[in-house]
């Protein structure tokens, strides 16, 4: 654990920030030495700042508890303390966009959980098992923006992670999708804290999550896009329709997916072995946060289920089940992932590990 | 309340049976005078038979509580006591099929909540607002089977009721569907009692309900079918793909629907007025159980929701919301209905009212 | 329905206010003609003011939806429009206390759901079945404060209603309690909206409700108190210890009660008939909101249960069960009531009915 | 991990059995080499026997999955394979009682999770932090029953574990309890699978668990009892009244406790340090399953909470909070433990570790 890279967390007191703190506690490569949050928290120890609102089910890591929280708006405060910053700041979208650029311009490698820069063409949105080569945009980003050591990389929305890797595994095998209609059943932790009122979710579901369907329909196109002239050009051959629902589940987003292929169609019996055999760059590089098997297929007729499958392989695996013929499109399946780990902090950490392995950090 | 038609409930002690008892308590046309169940319950008063397992939230109706439960397998026991029987017997499918035919042959009008005869071509499967004219098959049924006063009519599966009426309203207006992909979020009451174990549903969803997807894909084709040569011929122009999920909701099935039209496509802004204006035979006849408006459209962006909308208009209305363009098909919407009322006992009672109004009973 | 008394609701847009609107919709004596809320809502129609946050499961009453919301802080706005005001304003305690006095001084009969005046000695805190005679303090109140038609009456905290009537029925029969230790399991609706975050209650309980235990231990002493020199003197012979918990229940507070008698002890077998036979002034006067039987005893070993029993008798009955010997004190039982009806708006309406019947209004 | 003691699990396919399998997967001292269950499972591999009903959230341990399940009724089948047996057989109480004696007579050290022998005077019921010296009864047990290597030890009911250690810590410090009134809010996992129907627990609580209150009132008296003439004599100075409720929580039993001391009363401010400093034999011996701190006190006003605190210290710690004065007795507090780990399989494993350390096994 010696010689770990010092890292910081922006927005460290919020739900995603707390997950970063929790997941990085014993990380072999990274060590949290810097925490920043809103001006109200600044100046307090981290323990004081989260008093009464530490929402993790593991205790507050001792080392981090003593760190003094800095003002996340103060870019200079982080200088000299760390090279990598995980961003989970909670501001309006425009302010986040500006702040993350300021950190990158100041020389920090920034990996953001926010949506502010997901549409920025020279900012890669990375799922490490799917589009690791998009990190190469960082070179163009640095050149175009005059940055040297700094860079900005973002994580995609949590709602899409239950099916992106399974679909990518099919694409890799030559089976490109054309049209996808899907419905998600999303956990309440995705809305942060206090988030969803209990009066809206006990004995109820909410068939709407603001902005989620738009992100679910657009972000996959960038992730499945190609590098061209220093930016990422969206895939224009896939159309997606997403219905997003909130359900009474603490963690774990489930997606029911119907998919039509563009050209070659795999046989049903080909797909499961293909998913089970799928490995990608994070597995080859044996990144610390990488699941051994990115896609787990469960043969039981009634799986995956959030409470029973979300924690598999450090909560970083996607569990798939119920592969069957679709009477309207070609195939149907159900995918599940842990939204606050794989879909948020854990996915961002894996991305940072990939950046480190590829030489973009430090 | 004088001169009410005496009716019986087969399988009266189960969940659906109890709902029949509850909903018929103050019915203006029908009076429960006969209850039958398994041999273990036979001979007891109804109150004794359901002791410790009366699951309704209204008290056991006093009159019914004193009725002696008969053996549902004994067709003769019902003779002379009632002309109309609601069937919710819980046997294997084959035994139900035989028993319901036996009751019809013995002269009873049988309205069944079971799936045993849903595929029988001369047995109408009726949603009173959608295909009331299918009741005319009864004439052929009687003639072909040599029945005089008896007849057999079935109710469709609960899972499909959230979208059948809204789709029918579009069909009536000239907008026929071609392809439908939908996902349901179904209440635990649909599985009866004891039904879904709490360990499977607290902080969880189950992405599978045995047999439900097949029913959801097939039954609409019969309901949208046409009478021909004394039987109902399925609609062959619609294809449906259904994903059925169980969620932690007590009552109320929600469906997320993506729909492609076959020919003419309505403008989005035409559809809501069309749904709101929709009325059908049960409304024209002012049947006691008929909702005033079969389709309620809720403009709020996050509705319908099961706990908040399921009870509207005697729990017999379907609430629709979130009508919007589908990026893959033509339109998307969310539908909701109360599965144990509109989707089960209440729907069967409305069907019986329609049968009475059309002269098929008594 | 002619000649109904015009009434107003202060804080009409909040959860308790909405319950007042809902419960008064078809009230035979009272008609809502006036609604007031915060300055932000003032000037809008009630329908606009609650748009997107009407939390009742019945539709917004048509008549009320068109009323223009007034500023609850403006006492004059209500003058000439109504004689009776239900108060559910949401301000800090001190501001509520002052405002309610101002309305009473201005001539209104005020029935408050707030805790601000529960400790005021000349303000009666009434459970109509328990201490209806406390209303006589109004005479002293008016005299001492120089009010003529105005008066101020409060409702007790919702947490205590599950056991106050059952204990009072025992007191009436000569069995006074000495010591009570009880634990409540309270519904999330008691915390209003947005109230309890779903992350705190799905797969969880919260063993704490701010201020609730203090109220549960103190308020019964006033309700069981006696009139003396124009004020209510607390009962000093009873000691109560309350543990208050929040559980994942929408409506319905449950209480597990262990009770020691002061002197005479009833036999266990005497108690149930005594509870079942209990009737009080609201029943004698046949007040519209009064339950026929204030106390329902359920013999099943596992009742009462909130979802199954909360709605009994207009949600105004208290359901009791599990009466048994306590190995430490004398008896144990479980009580349940609907916290937003009997425990809040419904209880306040019943109190107002009693005030009307006794000549204190209009 | 070499030279681990071979152990068996009786009733290995049930919920508690599965927890034994899960918790023993990487145990440093014990290795599961033998699994037995009902005759229907006998002859199958463990993986086949639990197919579709493996309820743990970690995958089935590979080694155990290949074991052939034996008939638990066949005592001889286990001979020569293991020396220690964990019993979680699911039979009627009498059959369990006979079977566990048969295994002990055949030379096995049996640690049982069942209630069948909890009342047997020469069978110790052990909470390792509370009454480790009760294991000495094994000598008398062996002598009286003519056993040589065999012995029988039982674990107490899960409901009582939330407060036994905290109360014992007070007793150790000289503050003996006299009277205790408590209410539990118990998780659904305590009822096994399928266990509690979801229709009984979603938006509901059940104020009754069959047999649980009796166990909660009686078992502490034996655990706090003394050895005398080769048997354990119950403590006769404590009286307990327990109200047991089932709530919509997956794992984690909470207890609200009011306690009166017999003689010396600690000051409130003495108690928390006393709890935090409490260590016992399992901690001194550094047993593998022992929590570092048996009692964790959480200062937050709204803790402990089951979902947030149940997993602390391998789910073996008891978390306590809300210590405050009781207006009726002396003190009040809330205790919480993980019912299927500390309260079941984990507690039994800790007991077996203690037995091993004290020389009673092998």
DSSP secondary structure, C90-111, as one string? -S-HHHHHHHHHHHHHTT-EEE
Q: Please tell me if residue B245 touches chain A, with a CB cutoff of 8 Å.
A: yes
| Contact assessment for residue A22 and residue A61, using Cβ atoms and an 8 Å cutoff | yes
Does residue D252 register a pLDDT over 90?
yes
Looking at residues C3-27, what average pLDDT do you find? 96
Q: Please tell me if residue A55 touches chain C, with a CB cutoff of 8 Å.
A: yes
Q: Which strands, in side-by-side order, build the sheet including C5-10?
A: C70-71, C30-37, C5-10, C84-87, C109-112, C151-154
Looking at residues A119-127, what average pLDDT do you find? 97
- Distance between CA atoms of C58 and C42, rounded to whole angstroms? 24
Chain B hits for D201, Cβ within 8 Å: 198, 202
B145: left (phi over 0), alpha (psi -120 to 50) or beta: alpha
C324: number of CA atoms within 13 Å, CB side? 17
For the record, the structure tokens of C285 come out as 């006067």
Specify which residues A36 forms β-bridges with: A10, A70
Distance in Å, alpha carbon of A68 to nearest chain B alpha carbon: 36
Length of chain B: 362
| Contact assessment for residue C13 and residue C41, using Cβ atoms and an 8 Å cutoff | yes
User: For D250, which DSSP code?
Assistant: S
3-state secondary structure of A153: strand
Q: What is the dihedral of CA C61, C66, C67, C70, to 10 degrees?
A: 120
> What are the extents of the domains in chain C?
5-157+345-357, 159-337
Task: For residue range D43-81, list pLDDT tens digits in order.
Answer: 999 999 999 889 998 899 999 999 999 999 999 999 999
Task: For residue range D285-343, list pLDDT tens digits in order.
Answer: 999 999 999 999 999 999 999 999 999 999 999 999 999 999 999 999 999 999 999 99
Task: For residue range B191-220, list pLDDT tens digits in order.
Answer: 999 999 999 999 999 999 999 999 999 999
Does residue C362 register a pLDDT over 80?
no
Q: What is the dihedral of CA B334, B340, B345, B349, to 10 degrees?
A: -40
Chain B hits for D189, Cβ within 8 Å: 199
> How many other C-beta atoms are found inside a 10 Å radius of the C-beta of residue C55?
18
Contact D311 A52 (CB under 8 A): no
Looking at residues C204-208, what average pLDDT do you find? 98
Does residue B168 register a pLDDT over 80?
yes
Quick one: pLDDT band at residue D2, thresholds 50, 70, 90? low
Scanning B182-340, the segments in alpha helix (DSSP H) are 212-223, 268-277, 281-284, 306-309, 312-315
Quick one: pLDDT band at residue A171, thresholds 50, 70, 90? very high
> How many other C-beta atoms are found inside a 10 Å radius of the C-beta of residue D92?
8
Bridge-based pairing state of the strands A331-337 and B5-10: unpaired
List the chains bordering chain A where 3 or more Cβ pairs fall under 8 Å.
B, C, D
10 Å CB burial of residue C277 (0-12, 13-18, 19+) is: exposed
Per residue in B180-200, is it b (16+ CB within 10 Å) or e — as a string?
bbbbbbbbbbbbbbebbbbbb
Q: Please tell me if residue B248 touches chain A, with a CB cutoff of 8 Å.
A: yes
For the record, the structure tokens of A134 come out as 């998009």
Q: How many CB pairs under 8 A join C and D?
A: 128
- Backbone φ and ψ of C182, nearest 5°: -145, 155
10 Å CB burial of residue B106 (0-12, 13-18, 19+) is: middle
Cα separations in angstroms, B96 against A225, B102, B124, C19: 56, 10, 17, 46
Quick one: pLDDT band at residue A192, thresholds 50, 70, 90? very high
10 Å CB burial of residue B282 (0-12, 13-18, 19+) is: buried
Q: Please tell me if residue B195 touches chain D, with a CB cutoff of 8 Å.
A: yes
Specify which residues B7 forms β-bridges with: B32, B84
Length of chain D: 362
Looking at residues B260-284, what average pLDDT do you find? 97
- Distance between CA atoms of A251 and A211, rounded to whole angstroms? 19
Q: Please tell me if residue C306 touches chain D, with a CB cutoff of 8 Å.
A: yes
For the record, the structure tokens of C140 come out as 């002293």
Looking at residues B264-282, what average pLDDT do you find? 97
Mean pLDDT over the full length of chain A: 96
Contact A197 C195 (CB under 8 A): yes
Does residue C68 register a pLDDT over 90?
yes
Q: Please tell me if residue D249 touches chain B, with a CB cutoff of 8 Å.
A: yes
Question: Scanning every residue of chain B, which has its alpha carbon at the shortest distance from the alpha carbon of D251?
Answer: B199
> Which residue among B27, B253, B337, B338 is the active-site one?
B253
Question: Scanning every residue of chain C, which has its alpha carbon at the shortest distance from the alpha carbon of D208?
Answer: C302
Cα separations in angstroms, D100 against D79, D112, D351: 14, 8, 17
Distance in Å, alpha carbon of C3 to nearest chain D alpha carbon: 40
Chain A hits for D252, Cβ within 8 Å: none
Does residue A108 register a pLDDT over 70?
yes
- Distance between CA atoms of C228 and C235, rounded to whole angstroms? 12
Sign of the C-alpha dihedral computed for residues C321, C326, C331 and C336 taken in this order: negative
Note the pLDDT of residue B2: 64
Does residue C155 register a pLDDT over 90?
yes
Q: Helix, strand, coil shares of chain B as percentages rounded to 5? A: 35, 25, 45
Does residue D362 register a pLDDT over 90?
no
CATH superfamily to which C159-337 belongs: Dihydrodipicolinate Reductase; domain 2 (3.30.360.10)
DSSP string for D132-143: GGGGGHHHHHHH
DSSP string for D319-350: EEEEEEE-SSSSEEEEEEE-TTIIIIIHHHHH
ipTM of the complex: 0.96
- Backbone φ and ψ of D99, nearest 5°: -65, -45
Looking at residues C7-30, what average pLDDT do you find? 96
For the record, the structure tokens of D148 come out as 């040589």
Looking at residues A10-28, what average pLDDT do you find? 96
> How many other C-beta atoms are found inside a 10 Å radius of the C-beta of residue D300?
15
Interfacial C residues in 253-272 facing D (CB < 8 Å): 254, 256, 258
> How many other C-beta atoms are found inside a 10 Å radius of the C-beta of residue D221?
17
Does residue A53 register a pLDDT over 70?
yes
Quick one: pLDDT band at residue D3, thresholds 50, 70, 90? confident
Does residue D352 register a pLDDT over 80?
yes
Specify the CATH number of the domain C5-157+345-357. Answer: 3.40.50.720
User: For A211, which DSSP code?
Assistant: T
Task: For residue range D200-243, list pLDDT tens digits in order.
Answer: 999 999 999 999 999 999 999 999 999 999 999 999 999 999 99
Scanning B127-203, the segments in alpha helix (DSSP H) are 137-145, 161-172
From the list B45, B55, B51, the residue with the least C-alpha distance to B17 is B55
Q: Among A199, A245, A251, which would you mutate to test the C interface (most chain C Cβ atoms within 10 Å of its Cβ)?
A: A199
Looking at residues A297-326, what average pLDDT do you find? 97
Task: For residue range B91-119, list pLDDT tens digits in order.
Answer: 999 999 999 999 999 999 999 999 999 99
Asked about A253 being catalytic, the answer comes back as yes
For the record, the structure tokens of A115 come out as 């949506």
Note the pLDDT of residue A1: 56
Place of tokens 């000299």: A80
D354: left (phi over 0), alpha (psi -120 to 50) or beta: alpha
Note the pLDDT of residue A297: 98
Q: Please tell me if residue C247 touches chain A, with a CB cutoff of 8 Å.
A: no
Active-site positions of C? 158, 253
Percentage of chain A modeled with pLDDT above 90:
97
Q: Please tell me if residue D305 touches chain C, with a CB cutoff of 8 Å.
A: yes
Q: Please tell me if residue D307 touches chain A, with a CB cutoff of 8 Å.
A: yes
Note the pLDDT of residue D42: 97
Into which CATH architecture does domain B159-338 fall? 2-Layer Sandwich (3.30)
> Which residue among B82, B151, B158, B244 is the active-site one?
B158
Note the pLDDT of residue B162: 98
Sign of the C-alpha dihedral computed for residues A103, A104, A107 and A108 taken in this order: positive
- Distance between CA atoms of C320 and C255, rounded to whole angstroms? 9
| Contact assessment for residue A284 and residue A357, using Cβ atoms and an 8 Å cutoff | no
Q: What is the dihedral of CA D356, D360, D361, D362, to 10 degrees?
A: 120
Mean pLDDT over the full length of chain D: 96
Looking at residues A159-178, what average pLDDT do you find? 97
Contact C205 D334 (CB under 8 A): no
Chain A hits for B307, Cβ within 8 Å: 202-204
Does residue B362 register a pLDDT over 90?
no
A86: left (phi over 0), alpha (psi -120 to 50) or beta: beta
Distance in Å, alpha carbon of A211 to nearest chain B alpha carbon: 12
- Distance between CA atoms of B42 and B35, rounded to whole angstroms? 9
- Distance between CA atoms of D312 and D319, rounded to whole angstroms? 8
């Amino acid at each position: 654990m010696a010689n770990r890279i010092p890292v910081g967390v922006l927005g460290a007191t919020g739900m995603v920030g707390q997950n970063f703190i929790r997941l990085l506690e014993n990380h072999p490569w990274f060590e949290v030495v810097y925490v920043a949050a809103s001006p109200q928290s600044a100046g307090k120890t981290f323990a004081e700042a989260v008093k009464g609102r530490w929402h993790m089910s593991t205790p507050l890591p001792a080392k981090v508890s003593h760190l003094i929280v800095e003002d996340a708006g103060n870019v200079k405060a982080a200088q000299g303390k760390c090279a990598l910053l995980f961003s989970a700041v909670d501001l309006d979208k425009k302010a986040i966009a500006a702040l993350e650029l300021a950190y990158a311009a100041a020389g920090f490698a920034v990996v953001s959980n926010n949506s502010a820069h997901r549409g920025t063409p020279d900012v890669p949105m990375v799922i490490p098992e799917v589009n690791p080569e998009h990190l190469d945009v960082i070179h163009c980003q640095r050149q175009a923006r005059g940055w040297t050591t700094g860079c900005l990389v973002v994580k995609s929305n949590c709602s899409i992670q239950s099916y992106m890797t399974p679909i990518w595994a099919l694409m890799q095998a030559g089976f490109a999708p054309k049209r996808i209609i899907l419905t998600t059943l999303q956990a309440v932790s995705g809305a942060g804290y206090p988030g969803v009122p209990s009066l809206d979710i006990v004995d109820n579901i909410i068939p709407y999550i603001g902005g989620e369907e738009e992100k679910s329909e657009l972000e996959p196109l960038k992730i499945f896009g190609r590098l061209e002239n220093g930016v990422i050009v969206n895939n224009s051959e896939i159309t997606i329709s997403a219905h997003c629902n909130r359900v009474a589940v603490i963690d774990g987003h489930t997606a029911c997916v119907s998919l039509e292929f563009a050209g070659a169609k795999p046989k049903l019996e080909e797909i499961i072995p293909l998913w089970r055999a799928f490995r990608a760059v994070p597995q080859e590089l044996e990144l610390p946060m990488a699941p051994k098997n990115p896609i787990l297929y469960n043969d039981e007729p009634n799986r995956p289920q959030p409470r029973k499958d979300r924690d598999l392989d450090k909560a970083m695996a996607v569990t798939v089940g119920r592969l069957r013929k679709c009477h309207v499109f070609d195939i149907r399946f159900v995918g599940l992932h842990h939204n606050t780990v794989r879909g948020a902090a854990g996915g961002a950490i894996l991305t940072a590990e990939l950046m480190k392995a590829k030489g973009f950090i430090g």
